[in-house]
Amino acid sequence: MARLGTHFQLLLVIAVALILPLVIRSGSLATEVLIYAIAVAGCNLLLGFTGLLSFGQGIFFGLGSYTAGILLTRLALPLPLALLAAVVVGALAATLVGWFAIRQRGTYFVMLTLAFAQMFYFLAYSLPTLTGGDNGLLDVPRPPIAVGGLELMALKTPWQFYTLVAVCFVIVFWLLLRVTRSVFGRTLLAIRDNEERAAAVGYNVRLFKLAAFAISGAVTGLAGAFLAIMTGIAPLSSIEYHTSEMILVMTVIGGTGNLFASVLGAAFYVLFSDWLSTLWPRWLLLLGMLLIAVSLFMQRGLWGLGERLWLAVRRKPPADDIDAPSATESRP
Amino acid sequence: MTAHADNASLSFNPQHPVPHTSHLAHPGTPLLEARGVVKRYGKFVALHGVDLTVQPRTVHSVIGPNGAGKTTLFHTLTGTTGVSGGTVVFNGHDVTAEADHQRVQRGIARSFQVTSLFANLSVRENLRLAAQGVKRAGAFDLWHPPSGARAHNDVVDGVLERMALTRFANQTAGVLSHGQQRRLEVGMALAAQPLAIFLDEPTSGMGVDDLDEMKRMIRGLRDDYTVVLIEHNMNIVMDISDTVTVMQLGRVLVEGTPDAVRRDERVRRAYLGNMITGGRA
């Protein structure tokens, strides 16, 4: 699954960032694809690489939105600082949630992340002075990126903002590709495969899971901040359980265990729902059916489907293709 | 080719990474000393104060019928579960309060009774992970892929050869035969370059052919390591052990050389003779 070279995957990611403006007319829609791709990659790190089904991704996403929103509206901080703060807050929140949740495994782990998601939602709801409560945080500005009064990059138009998000999107994916291929990332795969054995050969499994959580939270927080800045509002819905669910659905549709699959999942979900919602108000019903189909027939998601098609085109038995690259990977 | 590989795997191989014997705190003294180990599960007492002393460079077997507490003792020694009382001292360090992954850093490695591998990863990757597990700092490298020195190829290749798995290095562990998986299971423990290897019924479910090979391998381990063996198969124990501890109902019944244990009247009485002597009598 995760066997294509780092460079090739990075090229695919760059290609997506360059091609989206050519095929999508709306800058906001294209930006939304990249924003969710970032969040989905964070979720994939947990689900696909560490084997952790987290319903808490909405917490980190929402906190990222609020952090950027509050810092930009109340303190008029420069945009890069607001983004950085969202990353830090996302990582801290994920460390906190992870600290408790990884004490349990399986069902109870999932329940704990759900419980935290509910808790943070009501926390945001009951602090209207900070978060705007039910109305959300309105009028989040989008100041240009400037150093000492010198404007480096205007972000007024949707496509200008897209450029900023696209650059960050490529950087985030590059970093995540490095992390998942690193000694650390390979250990996460081992933990996903057999947690008991991983502990028996000397790994502090909890510490690894916690680190995966922190990275996931940081990345998801960044995505949340971008969405708030793009839409000009940090709504209560961004910290809702529904956001966690949406990110998870995108992750599963795209395919787990492969980072580029996250881009596919996010793009598919965002574009598909945008198109369907103009045709039929009950479009979520179709999405449900799609999810059933993915769960039943294509558990490796769109990425797995693409791989199968590619193999069929090349008319090669799949076994060969799986063996060869794994050999080069384990002994580079 | 196979025969050659087997021979090489049994004799001491100077190229094989030498376990850190020099780290032995006190040469000549026991490597492992468990004193009065008690383990309770609620009201049930699995271990009633077990003493166990393991000398370095020996094969020390713990035997007993089902429910004797062998596996529970094993788990308290490797740190998989904590103790309710007593102490475990390994190589001069009191490790009683340490978790399993911490004891690995002390030089304790274990295999599992039910094969427990990284089934979706290659044989080489399984061993690399085991070799990396004892090197704490390097395992948290978020930036570099496990290539070059980080691949631990010297250790991994040595273990592959010793366990006659070189040919299968790039196969997925999950598709190996049962015997090969059992060998990889032991190899995982070796890859940690430990002082002591704890083997939990390494021959469980093995066919006759694989059994003899595994026996020779365990015997060969004594040259470089200390082996603590939990076994149900009495044949194996009597042939390859230096010391045998017999457990019954959570207590040590008898301890001694295989011959002494085989002749022991209490053992004969407790096990109706042929179970311990394993058909040899």
Helix axis angle for A183-193 and A158-181, nearest 10°, is: 70
* pLDDT recorded at residue A1: 39
Q: DSSP alpha helices (H): ranges in chain B?
A: 2-10, 70-78, 100-106, 123-133, 136-139, 153-162, 178-191, 208-221, 234-240, 258-263, 265-271, 274-277
- Counting Cβ atoms within 10 Å, is residue A52 exposed (0-12), middle (13-18) or buried (19+)? buried
What confidence category does residue B239 fall into, taking pLDDT thresholds of 50, 70 and 90? confident
Chain B residues with beta carbon closer than 8 angstroms to that of A196? 112, 116
What is the band of A327 on the pLDDT scale with cuts at 50, 70, 90?
Answer: very low
Tell me: the pLDDT tens digits for A75-102?
A: 999 999 999 999 999 999 999 999 999 9
**Which 8-state DSSP code applies to residue B23?**
G
Query: Would the pLDDT of B263 be above 90?
Result: no
In the numeric block, the tokens 């990582």 are attached to A91
The per-residue pLDDT for B23 is: 52
What H or E segment, with its residue span, contains residue A303?
helix A301-314
Residue B192 to residue A201, Cβ atoms within 8 A: yes
Q: Name the residue range of residue B31's domain.
A: 2-277
Contact A200 B118 (CB under 8 A): no
Condensed to tens digits (0 to 9), the pLDDT of residues B139-197 reads 888 989 898 888 899 999 999 998 999 999 999 999 999 889 989 999 999 999 999 99
Q: What 3-state DSSP class applies to B228? A: strand
Q: What is the model's pLDDT at position A316?
A: 55
CATH code where residue B80 lies = 3.40.50.300
Chain A touched by B110 (CB under 8 Å): yes
Least CB–CB distance from A184: residue in B80, B141, B172: B141
Give the pLDDT confidence score for residue A147 in this predicted structure: 82
What is the number of structural domains in chain B?
A: 1
CB contact under 8 Å between B119 and A194, yes or no, is yes
Interface of A with B (CB under 8 A): 178-179, 181-187, 189-190, 193-194, 196-205, 207, 211, 323, 326-327, 330-332
Q: Return d(Cα B99, Cα B174) in angstroms, integer.
A: 28
The domains found in chain A, sorted by start residue, are 6-330 (1.10.3470)
pLDDT recorded at residue A332 = 33
Name the residue of chain B whose CA is nearest to A328's CA: B170
Size of interface A-B (CB pairs under 8 A): 115
Q: Please give the average per-residue pLDDT across A270-280, as a whole number.
A: 88
Residue B61, φ and ψ in degrees, nearest 5 = -105, 145
AA letter at A34: L
**What is the DSSP annotation of B113-124?**
SS----TTSBHH
Q: What is the pLDDT of residue B217?
A: 86
Counting residues of chain B whose pLDDT is more than 70, the rounded percentage is 85
Query: Max CA-CA distance within chain A?
Result: 62
pLDDT band per the 50, 70, 90 thresholds, residue B117: very high
Burial of B237 (0-12, 13-18, 19+ CB in 10 A): buried
CB under 8 Å to B237, separation ≥6 — which residues?
Answer: B61, B63, B229, B231, B244, B258, B278
pTM across the whole model: 0.84
**Rounded Cα distance, A159 and A155, in Å:** 8
Query: How far apart are alpha carbons A5 and A308 in whole angstroms?
Result: 18
Asked if A202 lies within 8 A of B188 by C-beta distance, the reply is: no
Q: Residue A299's pLDDT band (boundaries 50, 70, 90)?
A: confident
Query: Are A258 and A41 spatial neighbours (Cβ–Cβ below 8 Å)?
Result: no
Spatial CA neighbour of A51 closest among A176, A189, A173, A180: A189
**If you search the block for the tokens 């040595």, which residue do you land on?**
B158
Task: Choose between B20 and A166: higher pLDDT.
Answer: A166
**Mutate which of A179, A197, A213, A329 to test chain B, going by most B C-beta atoms within 10 A?**
A197
What per-residue confidence (pLDDT) applies to A85? 97
